[in-house]
Structure 1
């Protein structure tokens, strides 16, 4: 770039995206005079999905603003809880976030997920087609213009990932209402109706069942129920009452 020089600073929470020399205070950036401020911010490593207000000399501007020489830019992080207008809150998770997808579904949150790596263009198109918030740790994916909306998942630990998403978006929780395998809705199932699909020990031990209306998977309170119950209770206690 060989054009107007601006001075830019980033909110502390955005530090992981930028070079070390830009993490504190203002730093000089030479722009090309035609690129938008949004493009400049992303060229420095910060996906626009992670930015809140962009302030130029203290006043808010749109990402389409063309920086002028001498401007002082401050990039804020996303305000939480983040509201996603225009559609029911639904998510799409990339191939690396399978555990997070299952936990969101356990809580009744609509979370689409593809276990195969279908590629960034296909994921971005899916996000746009179904108006889903793309959750990913892939910064390149989150910079794709086709995305309807997106969010960076900051941790690689499922417990922290779940807390981050619930805190950021405050989705409505409806535990035990969604299939953790395919994301379809669950309905109560009569034991006799699913008997032939159960192992003998399960038929003998359990009487309460649910079934996915999309993939027909059958659920009951088996050996892992206590661990799943703990995840649900922790989430509901911290992030809101479960839906009736």
Structure 2
């Protein structure tokens, strides 16, 4: 670039995306005089999925604004909770976020997940086709123009990832209503309906079951129930629930 100089500063929550010299205070950027502010911000490493208000000399401007010489630009993070207009809130997670996908499903949140690396173009196309918010730690993926919506997952720890997503989007929680394997809806089932899918020990020990309406996987209060119950309890306590689910007994 060889044009107007602007000053730019990033909110603290966004500084991890920028190169080290731009993480503190205002720094100078030489623009080309025609690129939009959105393009300038992304060229400095910050995905627009993470950007809230853009202020030029204190006034809010759109991402399409072309900065002028001498502008002081402040880049703010998205406001939480973040609304996603125009569609029911649904998510799509990339191959690296399998644990987060299962925990969202455990809480009844619609969370599609790609268990194989199908590539960024295919993920972005699915996000657009199904109008799902793309969750990823891949900054390049989140910069793809085809995305319907996206969000960076800031932690690599599943507990913090879950709190991040729930705090950012405030989805309605309906625990124990989705299959953690395929994202399908659970329905109550009697033992005879799932008998052929059970091991002998399970047949002897349990008599209350649910089953996925799509993949037909059976669920019951198994050995991992206490751990799953703790995840649900903590999430509902902190973020609330759409309804008190009657299926708290279910875990495969």
Give the alignment's TM-score, normalised by structure 2. Answer: 0.96
Q: Match for residue 147 of structure 1?
A: 147
Aligned counterpart, 1:224: 224
Equivalent residue for 2:94? 94
> How far off is 1:231 after superposition?
0.3
Looking at structure 2, the residues matched to 182 and 86 of structure 1 have their Cα atoms a distance apart, in angstroms, of: 25
User: Hey, what does 2:19 align to over in structure 1?
Assistant: 19
Counterpart-to-counterpart distance in 2, 1:176 and 1:56: 47
Question: Map of 1:107-122 to 2, 5 A cutoff?
Answer: 107-122=107-122
In structure 1, runs of 5+ residues without a counterpart are: none
Partner of 1:73: 73
Cα contact 1:236–1:242 (8 A) shared by 2: no
2:61 is matched with: 61
- Per-residue deviation, 1:241: 2.7
Q: Does the 8 Å contact 1:175/1:242 carry over to 2? A: no
Q: State the aligned residue count.
A: 244
Superposed displacement of residue 192, structure 1: 1.3
Q: Does 1:37 align with 2:17?
A: no
Deviations 1:186-206 (A, max 9, x none): 000011111122111101110
Displacement of 1:242 in angstroms is: 4.5
1:96, 1:193 → 2: CA distance?
34
Offset from partner CA, 1:108-158 (integer Å, 9 cap, x none): 000000101000000000000010000000000000000000000000000
Runs of 4+ with >4 A deviation: none
The CA distance in 1 between the partners of 2:194 and 2:183, in whole Å, is 20
1:167 partner SS? helix
Equivalent in the alignment of 2:248: none
Distance of 1:197 and 1:26 partners within structure 2? 62
Superposed CA deviations along residues 26-69 of structure 1, whole A, max 9, x for unmatched, are: 10000011110000000000000000000001011100001111
Q: CA RMSD in A?
A: 0.7
CA distance in 2, matches of 1:4, 1:214: 57
SS at match of 1:175: coil
- How does the TM-score come out when normalised to structure 1? 0.99
Q: Deviations over 1:138-181 (max 9, x none)?
A: 00000000000000000000000000000000000000000000
| Deviation for aligned residue 1:183 | 0.3
Find the aligned partners of 2:143 and 2:186 in 1 and give their Cα distance: 35
Structure 1 position 215 matched with structure 2 position 215? yes
Deviation at 1:71, TM superposition (A): 0.5
Cα distance in 2 for residues equivalent to 1:114 and 1:22: 35
Give unmatched runs, 5+ long, in structure 2.
245-252
